[in-house]
Amino acid sequence: MNSLFSLRALLNALAPLVGAEAELGNRAVSAGWATEAKKDKINKWSSEGVALVEEELKTLFQREYEAEYNEKMRRVCALHVVLNLCDSYVHDLSDLGLGGPRTTMTQS
Q: How many domains does the chain have?
A: 1
Report the Cα 89 to chain-centroid distance in Å.
38
Is 106 within a domain? no
Residues 14-22 have a mean pLDDT of 95
**Residue 19 scores a pLDDT above 60:** yes
Q: Please give the residue range of the domain that contains residue 20.
A: 2-67
Tell me the C-alpha distance between 51 and 31, whole Å: 24
**Residue 1 scores a pLDDT above 60:** no
Residues 3-21 have a mean pLDDT of 92
Q: Tell me the pLDDT band of 4, cut-offs 50, 70 and 90.
A: confident
So what's the pLDDT on residue 28?
93
| pLDDT tens digits along 65-105 | 898 888 888 887 776 665 555 555 545 545 555 445 554 55
Is 26 within a domain? yes
Is 100 within a domain? no
**Residue 15 scores a pLDDT above 90:** yes
